[in-house]
Amino acid sequence: MQQTSSSLRARTFTSMGTVVSLTIPLKGDAHTTVDELEAATAVVERVFTELDSIFSLYRPASEASAMARGELTLEEASEVMRDCYADAARWRILTGGAFTPERPDGVVDLSGIVKAQAIREAGTSLLALGLRDWCLNAGGDVLVNGSPVPGSGRPWLAGVLDPADRRTLLTAFPLGGSPPVMNALATSGTSERGQHIWSAGLSPSGLAMRQFRQVSVAARGIIAADVLATAIMVGGQRTLDLAVEEWDVAVLVVKNDGGLLATPGFRLAAG
Amino acid sequence: MRFRAGVSAAIASTGILIAGWQYGLHVSDSNASITTTAAGTNGNASSNGAAAGGAGNGGAGNGGSGNSGSGNSGAGNSGSGSSGSGSTSGSASAGASAKAGGTYQGSVVTTRFGSVQVQVTVKAGTITDVTALKLTDDDRKSVQISNRAAPLLRSEVLAAQSADVQTISGATVTSEAYLTSLQAALDAANF
């Protein structure tokens, strides 16, 4: 909490229509830290770029675009595409249909899971590079390892935006640290990019019936956090109940009327 | 899910206790009921058809509870004779409880979720109320029960300002929106 910003270093790049930030603590010589950070950021960027080139519906040359145009079937698609679809389909079953890999118009749209997959793969790469303390943020979805103060066991503290005022934090949630409890936090909502939710399978009638304005899920693993946040946003109370029973997660919901719903992990005493 | 398992375990235990009650009443009243029920074997007996094999023990008597006795009943009431009247146990308990209205406390039963004890109220041969006197005090289960999303005031969450945190979670920001975001401010401060 007393962490001063000057003891961290961050680098960013743009991918998948958003900005990805990698933050690590300063260790010893600042130049060494920055060199290490920039090399690591390049590795993370490569992971994102590769997945985006396959899955982006904004790139006409991507495999996903070819499938959307009907030029390629799922059976003919690459193994990466089929694996990702299988993952998303599995999550559709686990979430009782609230999360789905298809748009209402039938086009396969895996953007709801691809970014989380990129974050996970990037995290694996960072560990493989020998980096132990880092915080990776892709458009508001967060995965961490270790601590902002190496060796202290202190967790990273992730702020959760107030959907009514994006300059204000609603609260904060500890991630990582030692012993690590939750290492990922994802937030779903419509205040920034409604299309993301649309593409995650919300029908027009579902939009009208939506109960929640913003859903944040902390979990062990970024894919569970991201998928469940989207699923609860789409499925409302029913999916919220399912998620807190089936998964070890902490959930914070902002309802349409501004009221909050939260599991004990988000309560002040537990925070 | 685990919560549901806990509840169903508690309910199952309740069933076992109720079975025990019926049997206990039956035993305490056995001398009287043997004759009564022998006469009234009729319809009641058929509802306990599965138990008809009888063998005259508790297992048969508790068949009617739907909890298959599961050994607890046998343990609690051991032989105590039952005097071979097993085949009529269903009607026996009905006959006994008709006389024995009132409130009864079951013994404490240990389940894998913790210990459970219930109180049963009987009126005119019918169980009118089952109250949990003691529900599992197992910590794990308490946690699981309470891991539900409940209404919360803003003052009940950890207050935070951007100076306190190292990163920001929010609905997906576009590249343009990022430029004016708190995350951009943090990243700039840490450049």
Locate the chain A residue with the closest alpha carbon to B178. Answer: A19
Whether residues B3 and A245 touch (CB distance < 8 A) is answered with yes
Mean pLDDT computed over A193-197: 44
Contact B149 A190 (CB under 8 A): no
pLDDT of residue B94: 41
Using a CB-CB cut-off of 8 Å, the residues of chain A touching B158 are 171-173, 266, 268, 271
Residue B142 touches chain A, beta carbons under 8 Å: no
Does residue A144 carry a pLDDT above 90?
yes
The mean pLDDT of A218-235, rounded to a whole number, is 96
Q: Is A159 in Cβ contact with B169 (below 8 Å)?
A: yes
pLDDT of residue B115: 65
Tell me whether B175 touches chain A (CB under 8 Å): yes
Residue B92, pLDDT > 70, answer no
Percent of chain A with pLDDT over 90: 78
| Most confidently predicted of A126-135, B13-22, B117-126 | A126-135
Whose CA is closest to B140, among B117, B114, B118, B111?
A: B114
Higher pLDDT, B120 or B138: B120
Pairs of residues, one from chain A and one from chain B, whose beta carbons lie less than 8 Å apart: 193
- Give the one of A158, A193, A244 whose C-beta lies nearest to B171's C-beta: A193
User: Chain A contact for B139, CB < 8 A?
Assistant: no
Q: Do A172 and B167 touch (CB under 8 A)?
A: no
CA distance A111 to B42: 68
Question: Does residue A212 or residue A1 have the better pLDDT?
Answer: A212
pLDDT at B50: 36
pLDDT at B146: 55
Q: What six digits make up the tokens of B68?
A: 């298959």
CA distance A207 to A211: 9
Q: What pLDDT sits at residue B26?
A: 38
Q: Contacts of residue A251 in chain B, CB cutoff 8 Å?
A: 149
What's A192's DSSP letter? S
- Mean pLDDT for A121-140 is 97
Q: Can you give the pLDDT at residue A99?
A: 94
Tell me if chain B has a CB within 8 Å of the CB of A229: no
Pairwise pLDDT comparison (A225 vs B35), residue with the higher score: A225
The neighbour count for residue B30, using CB atoms within 10 Å, is: 18
Using CA coordinates, name the residue in chain B closest to A196. B172
Residue A227's pLDDT band, with cuts at 50, 70 and 90, is very high
The ipTM value here is: 0.89
**Residue A104: per-residue pLDDT:** 83
- The answer for A 74-93 residues in CB contact with B (under 8 A) is none
pLDDT of residue B43: 35
Q: Give the pLDDT confidence score for residue A269 in this predicted structure.
A: 53
The pLDDT of residue B111 is: 57
Most confident region among A145-159, B4-18, B63-77, B82-96 by mean pLDDT: A145-159
Looking at residue A264, the DSSP 8-state letter turns out to be G
pLDDT at residue A4 in the model: 45
Instruction: Please name which of B54, B167, B171 lies closest in space to residue A133, comparing C-alpha atoms.
Output: B167
Residue B138 burial class via C-beta count within 10 angstroms: exposed 0-12, middle 13-18, buried 19 and up:
middle
pLDDT of residue B52: 35
Q: Does B43 lie at the interface with A, CB-CB under 8 angstroms?
A: no
Q: Which residue has the higher pLDDT, B65 or A31?
A: A31
Cβ proximity of B21 and B104 under 8 Å: yes
Kindly indicate the confidence band of residue B134, based on its pLDDT and cuts at 50, 70 and 90: low
- Residue B100 pLDDT > 80: no
The pLDDT value given to residue A208: 45
Indicate the SS3 state at residue A87: helix
| pLDDT tens profile A56-115 | 999 999 999 999 999 999 999 999 999 999 999 999 999 999 999 888 888 888 988 999
Confirm if B134 and B117 have CB atoms less than 8 A apart: yes
**Chain A residues near residue B148 by CB distance under 8 angstroms:** 241, 244, 263
The mean pLDDT of B83-88, rounded to a whole number, is: 34
Contacts of A17 in chain B (CB under 8 A): 174-175
B154 neighbourhood in chain A, CB within 8 Å: 170, 260
Whether pLDDT at A1 is above 70: no
Instruction: Choose the closest CB to B149 out of A3, A115, A244.
Output: A244
Q: Determine the length of chain B.
A: 191
The per-residue pLDDT for range A101-113, each reduced to its tens digit, is: 888 888 888 988 9
Query: Do the chains contact at B152 and A267, CB–CB below 8 Å?
Result: yes
- Looking at residue A96, its pLDDT comes to 94
Among the partner residues A8, A19, A262, nearest to B150 by beta-carbon distance: A262
Per-residue pLDDT for B7 more than 70? Answer: no
Question: What is B105-127 written as a DSSP string?
Answer: EPPPEEETTEEEEEEEEEETTEE
* B176 near A CB under 8 A: no
Tell me: the pLDDT tens digits for A15-41? 999 999 999 999 888 899 999 999 999
**What domains appear along chain A, each with residue ranges and CATH number?**
8-270 (3.10.520.10)
| pLDDT for residue A264 is more than 60 | yes
Distance CA A240, CA A89 (A): 19
Calculate what percentage of chain B has a pLDDT beyond 70: 36
